[in-house]
Amino acid sequence: MHNSVLLALWAGISFVLYKIACSIILSRKRAATARQLGCLPAPPLELVPFDPLGLHNIAILIQADKNSLIPQWMEERHKRACAKAGREITTFYQNVMGGENYFTIEPKNIQAILATQFKDFGLGVVRNRNFSPLLGHGIFSTDGEQWAGARALLRPQFARDQVSDLELEEQHVQHLLQAIPKNANGWTDVTDIEPLFFRLTIDSATEFLFGESVDSQLSALPGYKSSRIPLAVSEQEFGVAFDRAQAQISTATRFGDASWLVFSSDRSHIQRCHSFIDHYVQLALSKDKSRPQSSSSDKKQKYIFLDALVESTRDPVELRTHLISILLAGRDTTASLLSYIFMCFAQHPHVFQHLRSVVLSTFGTYSSPQNLTFEALKSCNYLQWVINETLRLYPVVPIDGRRALRDTTIPTGGGPDGTAPIFVKKDTNVEYSVYVMHRRKDLWGPDADKYRPERWDGRKAGWEYLPFNGGPRICIGQQFALVEAAYTIVRLTQKFERIESAGNLWDPVEKGGEGIIKHKLSLTMCPDGVKLRMKEAAE
């Protein structure tokens, strides 16, 4: 018995010594490789003198999240790092729960992890584990061949012919206008337009995906009675559950390897989301394939994303995975963009008036619209400048990141002057913030923090402008989002001749506000309220 205990103790000690020896050998090997490649360490971000576990970083992140100020916190953190180093820093090292993490706002580094060194970086096991309960194993929650297969399946569904069909969008814009009460003097009641935009985009997204809209805008009107058979999960319940499920997984994702600190075992919101999507999946799978297709002489057949997808796979779980991923992107991206644009219109009325004059001369009046086509919307310069400038200052995904899948490097940011490459060990996180990068004065000029659409006159942006990501994972639905946003902007700009803020936190102090833009951040970012009064145009 005594010998057995000694043997077990010796085996345990030997195993620990073996692991220590392996770690030392690996560290020396990595150090030698880094020297051969000319790599130098990135400057550390040290907010307090002694914080070996990075707990101070976690505490500040929690507080910023609570106050809806994470984008500003990221920008302030970068400024503090620059002040401490006495120079401009675009990449720094930070300790989070004892793990190594890098943060960068350098276009060359972001290009490397998203494109030129794409195979060296992925979403990583932790992020995919956090995303998969809601999103399954789709384009937003897989790496490697599994991701490539999902991407290849979805990409053809976003061909130009599909996303340039604007016939159905008008109906959803009309439903939006029904939800905005108007007074006899032509002014609307004070209306928070943000939730209306989210209803607009979920209606158009579900029509595109399922072949029928959930009509969330109509169902929110007083006295509305639906003629449909009630679903197990209503459209209102789905919207609430979708928001809460996103908030749950996005909070866990922001904490990365420390996500266990905010882990929630409650899956009820996710289950309601899945139940809602599964209803439409079963409808598509049960359609009679023996029915004859309409001939070429018939009216153009309505494109339905789900029906097209069923031609490639009949796995109900896989179909749900793809649908919920596209619904997330289709609803939240466009609604957030529209919310920020109309916030900017209220803050900068001269921009709204200039755009309105351009819209009226190009697309006609509200009651007599003309030339509202995909091509015309894309070629309307000032309209595109407004969209670009809004996405520059308020990108809907302000922070993202990748995890090193193997020992690798990023091109720059190391050493005393920040020009040397940085060695990145396997399983190290590299976070990047386009929100902060889009506000760099050395990239965008001394007025980088100002809203000025004219800066886009003649400008062709590269990797310093990434509102829809870049590289092989670039957003496949960006044209769908941009065209829907442009169409909605044009119709509302035709309808209303003035826009005023009505008691928002982001109003200037002299007008009763706090002068602070609070951002609700889940998997995407949107302003915390856009309360407006709008005056209907007299034609």
Binding-site annotation: residue ranges: 475
Question: Which residue, among 487, 384, 490, has the nearest Cα to 165 in the 3D structure?
Answer: 487
Question: Which residue, among 274, 298, 299, 250, has the nearest Cα to 522 in the 3D structure?
Answer: 250
Helix, strand or coil, per DSSP, at residue 342: helix
Half-sphere exposure of 519 (CA within 13 A, CB side): 25
Binding residue positions for heme = 475
Write the DSSP symbol of residue 474: S
Q: Residue 510, Cβ neighbours under 10 Å: how many?
A: 7
Calpha distance 393→372 (Å, rounded): 27
Positions of E strands within 67-198? 91-96, 99-104, 121-122, 191-192
Q: How far is CA 390 from CA 290, 310, 424, 438, 476, in A?
A: 48, 37, 33, 11, 20
Q: Mind spelling out the 3-state secondary structure of 58-79?
A: HHHHHHHHHCCCHHHHHHHHHH
Calpha distance 93→46 (Å, rounded): 9
Q: Are 526 and 195 in contact (CB under 8 A)?
A: no
